[in-house]
Amino acid sequence: MRSNLGKGFAISYTGLLQVNQLVMGSQKMGVQTYNLQGNNQFDRLQFHLGAEIQVLKKLNAQTDLFIFFSDSWQLNTIQKDGSQFAINPTSFGFGLHYSPFNSHE
Residue 66: the pLDDT is 96
Are 50 and 37 spatial neighbours (Cβ–Cβ below 8 Å)? no
pLDDT at site 82: 75
**Per the domain annotation, does 59 fall within a domain?**
yes
pLDDT one digit per residue (tens) for the chain, 105 residues: 889 999 999 999 999 998 887 777 777 778 888 777 777 667 778 889 999 999 999 999 899 999 999 999 888 777 767 777 777 889 999 999 898 887 655
For position 8, what pLDDT does the model report?
92
pLDDT for the residue 86: 76
How many folded domains does the chain comprise? 1
Tell me if residue 81 falls in helix, strand or coil.
Answer: coil
Task: Tell me if 104 is assigned to some domain.
Answer: no
Residue 104 is predicted with a pLDDT of 53
Q: What order of strands is seen across the sheet that includes strand 90-98?
A: 2-6, 9-20, 46-58, 63-74, 90-98
Partners of 12 in the beta sheet? Answer: 2, 54
Domain that holds residue 69: 2-23+31-98
